[in-house]
Amino acid sequence: MEKTVNTIVLGSVLLLVSSLALAEADAYRIDDSHSFANWSIRHVASKTSGTFSDIKGKIMIDAKNLASSSVEAKINMLSVNSSNVKRDKNIKEEAEYLDTTKFAEMTFVSKKIEASSNTEGVMTGILTMHGVAKEMTFPFKVLGFGSDPWGGYRAGFEAHTSLKASDFGFAWPLKPDAPVGNDIEITLLIEGVKLPPPSPIK
């Protein structure tokens, strides 16, 4: 009986501690009208750049302890824009490239955040693209917090990373003298809108 009571008490304490920890983190919905995944890649002797503009997801951020934060995001691959309609059509539809009929979404789920200050750190998580899931680690920065003109409250984030297309099963870099490179540089500019706290359980 005593062992059962102790187990119940311990479970209650752990639940309380967990609830308090979650209470410190605020939820932000990614605003896809103000968020971008910008990319650049070698093309022959120069570089081509563009963006993915349809980004959705949620950021849980603890401003006092960034290590307790987390991110879940989805990028609609159909939103690719390289400022050339014909090229964008090829990028989206060609099996050699994004092949969006089969792989229309890229996802990222964080696993760990290591903070180096109150505004900077390194994030590790699983990036899934083109049917391949890989662990990625990249630095990020909290740009700030502030009220918006519509009565909401926002947070801004920036992150940089690079990846190899061949690591995600893309074949274009493997061709001899391939005109399109293997290394893709990515800059994430993310703006989140703070969500109201969940209603208490009655």
* Tens-level pLDDT at each residue, the chain (202 residues): 444 444 444 444 333 334 444 457 999 999 999 999 999 999 999 999 999 999 999 999 998 999 999 999 999 999 999 999 999 999 999 999 999 999 999 999 999 999 999 999 999 999 999 999 999 999 999 999 999 999 999 999 999 999 999 999 999 998 889 999 999 999 999 999 999 987 666 5
For the purposes of burial, counting CB atoms within 10 Å of the CB of 173, is it exposed (0-12), middle (13-18) or buried (19 or more)?
middle
Give 81-131 pLDDT, tens digit per residue.
999 999 999 999 999 999 999 999 999 999 999 999 999 999 999 999 999
Torsion of CA 56, 61, 190, 185, to 10 degrees: -100
- Options 2.40.128.110, 3.40.190.10, 3.90.1750.10, 3.30.1360.120; CATH of 26-194: 2.40.128.110
Instruction: Write down the domain spans for the chain.
Output: 26-194
Distance in angstroms (rounded) separating the CA atoms of residues 93 and 101: 7
Per-residue DSSP letter, 79: G
Q: Is the pTM of this model over 0.85?
A: no
